Amino acid sequence: MTRVDIERLRAETPGCANVAHLNNAGAALPPRPVIDAVAEHFTLEAETGGYEAAERGEAAIERFYAAVAGLIGADPDEIAYVENATRAWDMAFYAIPFAEGDRVLTTTSEYASNAIAYRQVAAARGVRVTVVPDDGHGQVSLDALAAELAEGDVRLVSLNHVPTHNGLVNPAAEVGRLCREHGTLYLLDACQSVGHLPVDVAEIGCDMLSATGRKFLRGPRGTGFLYVRRSILRTLEPPFLDLHSAEWTAPDTYTVRDDARRFETWERYVAGQIGLGVAADYAAALGMDAIEERATGLAARLRAELAARPGVTVLDRGERRAAIVTFTVEGYESAAVKAALRERGVNVSVTTGANSQYDPHAVPAAVRASTHYYNTEEELERLLDALPRRA
């Protein structure tokens, strides 16, 4: 396994000189190659014009599709560039031709944006939403999922690979196997796993996958992508079209593209698309196995240190755990802990129970620290030293 060169990676990450950034599940620090790619294209737009810059940057724009496809084991024509993970997920979900009585199966750890979409479609089309319970480790129960699939009427299984509010990794490949056995569509929300864990769509067996650029992939904000398996593309009608996703063939007819770009729009953040392609190549060059080992190893160390601290409660669940660590400090609001850490140059975030209302274990608020491969053991110590003591 390739070992990551921490000194080189930190030298290529300007933000490391300014802050101990443990908020990678929110937005990671971009590396110099990504920063330069975005800045160079934006400068080219300023100097030559947006359309003209796109013509000159065509090879870099096209590279995005191959780079992302290579990172997740897909083909370039199965990838669409979308402005964020939520819109990518929405484009897939709202393209499914739901009918009254169809069921959607999801998890207790589902995120608010996706849950709101379920409720909207349930109200508009008579779709039923079933929350599959957890197993004893806290991830989705495969036995319960299999039983729900056997009952029938399931149009979609919608799963988050890594929930935003705790440290678990859902068994995505095992879910894919069950979905294939029952001929059920499978949508994977991978916004917290791409760039963090190895993700192979063939191994997982998902039909659709959404992801963002700004988190562990270390790409620009305002970027994301959607993967759609080629064999199901023609069964999905994008919720809206334009002259890029479809061709106006006559005054009263149009033809939708036959590749994943049917989910794109013509206007987009071109510099960001180029930067996201560079970020995907950067992660691939490091190797996802090495990235996972480093990032999750740091998280495991932090989790153990926090658990040993009086007054600190670690909330993470799951048989397999990710690089997301959630905890509370007795006597302190989580927002106050975040503020105290920020004053000491340590970035974390706060996750709230309001965004996890299916989860019976969710707390009103928790501190979320998320490690990445460019973080150091010394930065973990900075967080621990800066924590307020039990009141």
b (16+ CB within 10 A) / e for 232-243: ebeebebeebee
Same domain, 261 and 297: no
Question: Cα–Cα distance between 116 and 123 in angstroms, integer?
Answer: 11
Which CATH number goes with the domain that contains 207?
A: 3.40.640.10
Residues 42-94 have pLDDT tens digits of: 999 999 999 999 999 999 999 999 999 999 999 999 999 999 999 999 999 99
Residues 259-277 have pLDDT tens digits of: 999 999 999 999 999 999 9
Question: Cα–Cα distance between 84 and 112 in angstroms, integer?
Answer: 15
Kindly state whether residue 200 falls inside one of the protein's structural domains: yes
Question: Cα–Cα distance between 350 and 335 in angstroms, integer?
Answer: 6
Same domain, 248 and 314: no
Same domain, 298 and 280: no
Same domain, 337 and 245: no
Is residue 238 within 8 Å of residue 92, measured between CB atoms?
no
Same domain, 43 and 90: yes
Same domain, 224 and 150: yes
Pairing mode of beta strands 253-256, 246-250: antiparallel
Pairing mode of beta strands 185-189, 154-160: parallel
Quick one: how many helices (H) and strands (E) in the chain? 13, 15
Same domain, 332 and 281: no
Kindly state whether residue 391 falls inside one of the protein's structural domains: no
b (16+ CB within 10 A) / e for 287-316: ebeebbbbbbebbbebbebbeeeeebebbb
**DSSP class per residue in 195-264:** TTB---HHHHT-SEEEEESSSTT---TT-EEEEE-GGGGGG---SS--TTTEEEEETTEEEE-SSGGGG-
Q: What is the pLDDT at residue 362?
A: 87
Same domain, 94 and 216: yes
Which residue in this structure is represented by tokens 């809206």?
A: 240
Is residue 278 within 8 Å of residue 33, measured between CB atoms?
yes
Same domain, 196 and 101: yes
Kindly state whether residue 1 falls inside one of the protein's structural domains: no
- Among the three residues 285, 316, 336, which one is the final residue of a domain in this structure? 285
- Among the three residues 222, 255, 285, which one is the final residue of a domain in this structure? 285
Q: What is the pLDDT at residue 1?
A: 41
Residue range(s) defining the domain that contains residue 102 = 35-285
Q: What is the pLDDT at residue 191?
A: 96
Same domain, 165 and 222: yes
Q: What residue type is 340 in one-letter code?
A: A
Q: What is the pLDDT at residue 167?
A: 86
Please count the structural domains in the chain.
2
Is residue 26 within 8 Å of residue 215, measured between CB atoms?
yes
- Among the three residues 226, 257, 285, which one is the final residue of a domain in this structure? 285
Q: What is the pLDDT at residue 130?
A: 97
Question: Cα–Cα distance between 130 and 170 in angstroms, integer?
Answer: 17
Q: Which two tokens stand for residue 386?
A: 């800066």
Same domain, 203 and 270: yes
Strands, E, within 61-107: which ranges?
79-82, 103-107
Q: Which two tokens stand for residue 145?
A: 């999922």
Residue 249, phi then psi, degrees to nearest 5: -90, -25
Kind plus residue range of the DSSP H or E element containing 391: none
Question: Cα–Cα distance between 294 and 272 in angstroms, integer?
Answer: 27
Is residue 59 within 8 Å of residue 181, measured between CB atoms?
no
In 10 A of CB 124, how many CB atoms?
A: 9
Is residue 227 within 8 Å of residue 201, measured between CB atoms?
yes
Q: What parts of the chain have a pLDDT lower than 70?
A: 1-2, 390-391
**Number of alpha carbons in the 13 Å side-chain half-sphere of residue 348:** 33
Q: What is the pLDDT at residue 356?
A: 86
Q: What is the pLDDT at residue 34?
A: 98
The whole model's pTM is what?
0.96
